[in-house]
Structure 1
Amino acid sequence: MSEHTASGGARKPPQVLLTGFPGFLGSALVERLLERGDGPIACLIQPKYRALAEKRVTELAGGDDAIRLYEGDITEPGIGLDDGTLEALESVAALYHLAAIYDLAVDPEPAEAVNVRGTEHVLDVAEALEADRFHYVSTCYVSGRYDGVFTEDHLEEGQSFNNHYERTKYEAEVAVQERLADGLSATIYRPAIVVGDSETGEADKYDGPYYLIRLLLAQPAACSIMTSLPGGADSELNVVPRDFVIDAIAHLSGREDTVGEVYQLCDPSPLSVPTVIETVGDAMGHRVVSIPGSKPLTKRLLGTLAARGWPAEPATLDYFDHPTRYACPNTQRALAGTGLECPPFESYVDALVAFVRDNPAVGDEAMS
């Protein structure tokens, strides 16, 4: 059955299907895809996020019909869409899968339902719709605690994992790579730790490195206390701003030669953990004193602080002695000559800190 606009003209069918809207990365990517003329875009949303999704649609497309919302759920077969709706989406040429639970302290069942089974359901839909391209946003941290340099060629290395988020994202990428090996035209993007915009500092969720920023801001500027872990001096904290991640995905997804490839969207020259702490302290004008401590004791302390309302998350401590270093030779080759590169953390840390100071009400709750 053909669709028509209110004026009676033919309604152009959706060309793109995207999960993860109205999330932070998903919203930015939708805006970029519309700019290059890839619409209309069908966005799968959960009913509980409809009000926020409609607000984002208005901000991105006004009264235009370029973004269409479909209520569904990736944890269900057929991503929660009925046969008629799936039939209406047969025009989709590209499917972007961003939806996931990003929560370092997530319990195993929701992580498996969304990150693993959800990805399998989206893959099934991509094949049922016979989409020309499948774009999957994974994470560098499929590495788990791999001891060494982890590149785009690595995945199944017998690694252990810091948490259920890492483990389930790893299992999800394994599923994508298996379909890719069976002939699915897919491209995989692995961002490192994503923070706010490098120009404005804008973020919609304070997790990961933001616990460090907020914990330091909650202490006196004259003396802010942090704990240094054994081995932490040799660990790197690989952070990337949202605009670089979106710029890279938008560029790489528009090229035919990226089919079948994996791209790690990481900082090729990241700072060590102690240098990140020092850099954040300098940006906020705090004198930071690092006191050596054991990991189990520090985790208990962070748990106590969190229970008392402090901005603390024990799970973040695993990244202060993380043994993995990330390299992105495939990404660097693909982006050579484009002007797209990850900016150094020092160049935008001021914007991140200023945004947190000006927006204390932003929370750390994951969309799920």
Structure 2
Amino acid sequence: MGYVITGATGFIGTSLVERLVDDGHAVTAVTRDESNAEHLPESVTVVEGDVTEKEGLRNAIDGADGVFHLAAWYQVGPGPWNEEKAERVNVKGTRNVLELLDEYDVPKGVYVSTAGVYGDTGGEYVDESYRSPNSFPSVYQRTKWRAHYEVAEPMIDDGLPVVIATLGAIYGPGDKAYGGTPRTAFRGHLKQELPMIPNDFTLPWSYVEDTAANLVRAMDEGAPGEEYILSGEPRSVPDIFGIVEELTGIPAPRAVPSAVFGALSRVVSVAELVTRPPEGFESELLAFFDSGEVLVDNSRARRELGIEHRPVEDGLREYLDWELAQLGMQSELREPASPA
């Protein structure tokens, strides 16, 4: 099969490309700059293109057996200074890609969404039928909500054969991202530069290789027109960093009420009227840490697609071994306690 991937040179995209190549598929990687694809397998066809420029995508998508649309603008913190870019990439870019799937009668597409579009679920586990209002602390969430519910869903309702794959917080070796991403927080912990964490902030977590495998399952087994939550199980931030402490011996940051982050956000937002704060202290990021619990139920994807996730303790061990090497720190990981 011949698959096209937008966002192919990113963290998840790279893992997906490698998975598809290993499975014997022909892969076309769409990237804004061909030099960004130098790390991809030699068999991959690289096409320069930008999802915000529809015409430049035509040659890549024409004749594809399937398209994975991963390309997105993702950062939490600097969102207010990038709102126009986020709207252009996440909303307009998604519309461009899905319209081309329609024009070229691509048999199937997978649009990659985020569990962030659910927001705080009020302490309840929600499935794919849940729909939250578009009232989030971050530009990333708001623009992904629009792409999900105002672009992808209406086109699917009109018959476009697309599966929506909803992901959680992704971690693992090979992540090059910084600025409001999970890697930023993990590195801050390892360097003992993370002063505190929110005590009731909860996200669903997924190892990157498992995510790539589950996206392939969504393409192979997912019913067109349906949404599947592909993320792993939700775990609180103190729970996750407690595991990091067990593995590394590096003390976890102090857990404080999430409302502390909300209060700090309001203070910083006033300062942002005249200056831009250091990375990691933006009002948007602080407000995000006070945004509650994203509790999702992935049972439908487990039942219908057969998705699998390794235990987070195992995934963190593999990731931290890599991250410590990146930081030039000695890796002597311990065995974590067995989960309750």
Among residues 28, 41, 44, which one is paired with 1:42 in the alignment?
28
Give matches, 1:36-115, under 5 Å.
36-39=23-26, 41-46=27-32, 49-53=33-37, 55-57=38-40, 60-61=41-42, 66-78=43-55, 80-81=56-57, 86=59, 90-105=62-77, 106=79, 107-115=82-90
Q: 1:152 to 1:218 in 2, by over 3 A?
A: same
Alpha-carbon contact 1:141-1:166 (below 8 Å) kept: yes
Alpha-carbon contact 1:142-1:166 (below 8 Å) kept: yes
Aligned to 1:21: 8
Give matches, 1:1-368, under 5 Å.
15-39=2-26, 41-46=27-32, 49-53=33-37, 55-57=38-40, 60-61=41-42, 66-78=43-55, 80-81=56-57, 86=59, 90-105=62-77, 106=79, 107-147=82-122, 148-155=124-131, 157-174=132-149, 175-196=151-172, 201-206=173-178, 207-219=180-192, 225-228=195-198, 232-233=199-200, 235-255=201-221, 258-268=223-233, 270-288=234-252, 290=254, 292=256, 294-299=260-265, 315-317=284-286, 318-319=288-289, 321-336=291-306, 340-360=307-327
Q: 1:215 to 1:122 in 2, by over 3 A?
A: same
Distance in 2 between residues matched to 1:354 and 1:284, nearest whole Å: 9
Letter in 2 for 1:274: P
Gapped runs of 5+ residues in structure 1?
Answer: 1-13, 362-368
Alpha-carbon contact 1:240-1:267 (below 8 Å) kept: yes
Q: 1:291 to 1:249 in 2, by over 3 A?
A: closer
TM-score (norm 1): 0.76
- The sequence identity of aligned pairs, in percent, is 25
Aligned residues: 314
Alpha-carbon contact 2:110-2:218 (below 8 Å) kept: no
Q: 1:346 to 1:315 in 2, by over 3 A?
A: farther
Give the aligned CA root-mean-square deviation in angstroms: 2.9
Q: 1:351 to 1:307 in 2, by over 3 A?
A: farther
Letter in 1 for 2:16: L
Gapped runs of 5+ residues in structure 2?
Answer: 329-340
Alpha-carbon contact 2:195-2:253 (below 8 Å) kept: yes
Distance in 1 between residues matched to 2:169 and 2:300, nearest whole Å: 18
Q: Deviations over 1:157-215 (max 9, x none)?
A: 3242120101111111121111111011111111100111xxxx332224533233222
Distance in 2 between residues matched to 1:321 and 1:344, nearest whole Å: 25
Q: Deviations over 1:227-256 (max 9, x none)?
A: 54xxx34x423211101111111123123x
The Cα shift of 1:127 comes to 1.1
Distance in 2 between residues matched to 1:52 and 1:18, nearest whole Å: 14
